């Protein structure tokens, strides 16, 4: 005799899949919102756009695992190129802010600081133009359309069950923690590059934990 589902079991399975699709939608909407703000000249929006892209890339990686989705994997790599294109402008913003906040003593030091400010401000304007060109390019528009289509498909497809989500969540979190540990173990005589790679690995682990917290409970959330 076929076992009848417990009350709420089907709803739980659907809700898990729908929650996962909603996470992708949330990250993508943040990308579009901050893209518009960045094009309007909002300095902080550029940083927020890079963060949203990083989070969306993590979601796409898991999406490619859940559904053996080559399109999700290709889009993740495409968005990585976009993220790199935004990096120099953000670096120039940070450098200029640090120089402006620095204290100087004496006329010579003040003249040098102002000269550096002008140079960094010019570099920032050039980098921001490159960012605007990239975000208005046919390549970015095409990638944006592909992401939108993939997110819509995730929202409308038959949802993955909670059980599958949990198995993928555990496997993904364990795999990423192994990467964190490997990079930590290589820190002997730490260089800036090694520390940067460790920081990236830890950040990805944090994003994964945030995405899966509602499915795996308080330990993951903590």
Residue 81 has pLDDT above 80, yes or no: yes
Q: Can you list the alpha helix ranges (DSSP code H) found in the chain?
A: 9-39, 43-67, 70-101, 107-135, 138-156, 162-185, 192-216, 218-221
Question: What is the pLDDT at residue 15?
Answer: 65
- For the chain, the first-to-last Cα distance in angstroms comes to 42
Alpha-carbon span 183 to 147, nearest angstrom: 31
The residue that leads in pLDDT, 10 or 219, is 219
Question: What is the pLDDT at residue 180?
Answer: 94
pLDDT average, residue stretch 145-174: 89
Question: What is the pLDDT at residue 96?
Answer: 83
The residue that leads in pLDDT, 102 or 84, is 84
The residue that leads in pLDDT, 102 or 73, is 73
Cβ–Cβ under 8 Å, residues 129 and 41: no
pTM of the predicted model, to two decimals? 0.82
Alpha-carbon span 222 to 187, nearest angstrom: 26
Query: At 11, is the secondary structure helix, strand, or coil?
Result: helix
* b/e code 89-106 from CB counts within 10 Å (16+ = b): bbebbebbeebeeeeeee
Residues counted in the chain = 222
Residue 150 has pLDDT above 90, yes or no: yes
């Amino acid at each position: 005799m076929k076992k009848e589902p417990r009350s709420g079991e089907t709803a739980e399975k659907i809700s898990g899949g729908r929650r996962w699709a909603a996470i992708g939608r949330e990250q993508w909407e943040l990308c579009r919102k901050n893209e518009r703000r960045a094009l309007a000249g909002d300095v902080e929006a550029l940083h927020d756009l890079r963060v949203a892209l990083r989070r969306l890339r993590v979601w796409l990686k898991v999406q490619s695992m859940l559904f053996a989705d080559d399109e999700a994997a290709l889009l993740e790599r495409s968005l990585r190129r976009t993220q790199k294109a935004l990096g120099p402008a953000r670096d120039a913003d940070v450098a200029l802010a640090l120089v402006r906040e620095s204290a100087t003593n004496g006329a010579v030091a003040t003249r040098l600081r102002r000269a550096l400010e002008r140079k960094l401000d010019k570099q920032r304007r050039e980098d921001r133009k490159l960012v605007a060109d990239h975000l208005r390019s046919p390549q970015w528009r095409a990638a944006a359309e592909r992401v939108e289509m993939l997110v819509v498909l995730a929202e409308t497809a038959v949802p993955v069950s909670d059980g599958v989500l949990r198995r993928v969540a555990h496997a993904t979190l364990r795999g990423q923690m192994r990467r964190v540990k490997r990079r930590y173990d290589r820190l002997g005589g730490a260089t800036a590059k090694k520390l940067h790679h460790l920081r990236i690995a830890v950040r990805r682990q944090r994003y994964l934990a945030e995405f899966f917290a509602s499915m795996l409970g308080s330990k993951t959330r903590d």
